[in-house]
Amino acid sequence: MATTPLALEVRGLRKSYGKLDVLRGVDFDVAAGSIFALLGSNGAGKTTVVRILSTLLKPDSGTAGVHGFDVLAQPEKVRESISLTGQFAAVDQILTGRENLIMVARLRQVREPGKVADDLLERFGLTDAGGRRVGTYSGGMRRRLDIAMSLIGDPPVIFLDEPTTGLDPEARIEVWQEIQSLAGKGTTILLTTQYLDEAEKLADRIAILHEGTIIVSGTLADLRKLLPPAKTELVERQPTLEEIFLSIVGKGAATPEGAQR
C-alpha cells in the first residue's frame, strides 16, 4: 500500500463543447491531505475539470478517481466524499446566513445543525451578520458563507473554484487560514485560482492547465527550477510564480527548457 494514498487520480480526461476541445488529456494526482492548485488563464478549462471531478459533468473520455471512487461508476459515493464551492456563490439570498448553514446541515444530516451553524459563523467572522438576510451581505461575506457551507459534514475532499475572487485582502487571509487549517486536519483541497500569490502561499503542488493539458506540475521549488533566477548585481532573486506562469503560458514566450509534466 502506498504511504500517501491518493485523494484524486485523474487520467487522460478529455472534454469538448461542440468543436471546442477544452480538455485534451488531463492527468494529475493529488495526495490525501494536501493542497493542490490548478492554474490557468481564463477559459483554460479549470472549472470544467472541477465540474467533472464533482460529477456535475461527464468527461468524453478518461477516468477520474475521487477519494477512491470513480466519478462515472460511483458518482453517489463521490458526492458523499466531496463538497464544492463554485466560482459563483450558491447561497440563498432570502434566507439569513444562519438559515443557509442550517439548511445545508439538515440536507447533509449532520447532528445539531444549529450548533454547527453557530460554530461556522464564528469561524468565518459572520456571527453578527448571521441573523441577516444574505441579500444584504457584501460579496466577501457571501463568499465566506459559501465556503463555510462547503465545510458542513467534514467532507474529506473539497473543491474550491476561485475561493477568494472578489475578497478584500483581510478576508482573503482569513480564507487562506481556514484552507490551511483544513489541510492540516487531513482534508484534501483542490483549488483553482487566478491569484498566483495564492497558489504560491497555499499549495503543496501546483499544476498549470494550458491548451487542454497540464503543461507543468510540481512543487513551487520544482517550478522555479524551470526558470533561472533573475540575476541582479547584488542578490540572486528566485523567480515568482507569476514570472514562471507568464513565461510558460504568456503569449509569444519561449517554453523554458525542460518544461513538461
Binding site for ligand ATP (CB under 6 A): 17, 20, 22, 40, 42-48, 87
Which residues 76-115 are close enough to bind Mg ion by CB under 5 A? 87
Rounded to a whole number of angstroms, the minimum distance from the CB of residue 201 to ligand ATP is 19
Say if strands 35-39 and 230-231 run parallel, antiparallel, or are unpaired: unpaired
C-alpha cell at 183: 489541510
41 or 74: CB nearest ligand ATP: 41
Closest separation in Å from C-beta 76 to Mg ion: 25
- Sign, CA dihedral 116-121-122-124, equals positive
Residues 27-46 that bind Mg ion (CB under 5 A): 46
User: In 32-169, where do the E strands start and end?
Assistant: 35-39, 61-66, 69-70, 82-85, 157-161
How are strands ordered across the β-sheet holding 20-31? Answer: 20-31, 6-17, 61-66, 69-70
Residue 34 or 47: the one with the smaller Cβ distance to Mg ion is: 47
- Answer for which of 34, 47, 164, 217 binds Mg ion (CB under 5 A) is 47
Q: How far is the CB of 82 from ligand ATP (least distance, A)?
A: 18
Q: Based on CB atoms, which residue is closest to Mg ion, 47 or 54? A: 47
The residues with which 190 forms a beta bridge, in sequence order, are: 36, 159
Output the nine-digit C-alpha cell for 28: 494529475
Q: In this complex, which beta carbon is closest to Mg ion, that of residue 86 or of residue 256?
A: 86
Quote the least distance from Cβ 134 to ligand ATP, whole Å.
23
The answer to whether residue 164 forms part of the interface with Mg ion (CB under 5 A) is no
- Nearest-angstrom CA–CA distance, 131 and 22: 42
Residues making contact with Mg ion (CB under 5 A)? 46-47, 87
